[in-house]
């Protein structure tokens, strides 16, 4: 598991650490995210039937950004602990947003007092090698948001920034 960093403008909260990992599969990718800390002080969306849903990033959400090496287009996957998900495709930085084609997305989530684990299997055509970002938004029960990522660009947290895509994933 790879540690994610908390954005410098975020206050410390109930989550002590966030780690993640991702691997390409023949049909897409598999990812796992772990939140360590006081999970009871984090807003966890209620379980729901797995389906495509917009605006998941407004509360606790796990994200993957997948960009072909040397390209400007990219995919964004939003994964909720509720098992809801979203998939978007962009032509370039925040331009040309549309629903991305996916064959299937399966999200599972488990938690106890000190840890939340989200796992996702994404079946979609994903080119490789790719620059990948692993990001997490954590909403505290008081309403504050934390932003976690492999890296951040300057300024406010922006997961669409190529600066966040610090991992290279290749089926090779």
Which domains, from first to last, does the chain contain?
A: 2-169 (2.60.40.1190)
Backbone dihedral angles phi then psi of residue 30, each to the nearest 5 degrees: -125, 140
- Listed in order, strand segments (DSSP E) in 26-114 are 28-37, 61-68, 74-79, 85-90, 98-99, 104-111
Q: What is the pLDDT of residues 39-96, one digit of tens each?
A: 999 999 999 999 999 999 999 999 999 999 999 999 999 999 999 999 999 999 999 9
Q: pLDDT tens-digit profile of 5-16?
A: 999 999 888 999
pLDDT(160) > 90: yes
């Amino acid at each position: 598991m790879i540690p994610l960093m908390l954005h410098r403008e975020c206050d410390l909260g109930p989550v002590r650490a966030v780690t993640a990992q991702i691997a390409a599969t023949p049909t897409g990718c598999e990812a796992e995210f772990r939140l360590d800390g006081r999970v009871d002080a984090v807003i966890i969306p209620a379980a729901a039937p797995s389906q495509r849903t917009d605006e998941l990033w407004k509360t606790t959400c796990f994200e993957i950004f997948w960009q072909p090496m040397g390209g400007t287009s990219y995919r964004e996957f939003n994964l909720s602990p509720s098992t809801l998900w979203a998939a978007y495709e962009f032509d370039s930085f925040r331009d040309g947003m549309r629903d991305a084609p996916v064959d299937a997305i399966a999200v599972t989530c488990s938690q106890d007092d000190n840890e939340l684990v989200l796992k996702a299997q994404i079946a979609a055509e994903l080119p490789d090698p790719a620059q990948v970002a692993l990001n997490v938004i954590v909403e505290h029960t008081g309403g504050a948001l934390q932003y976690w990522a492999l890296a951040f660009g300057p300024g406010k947290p922006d997961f669409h920034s190529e600066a966040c895509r610090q991992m290279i994933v290749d089926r090779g």
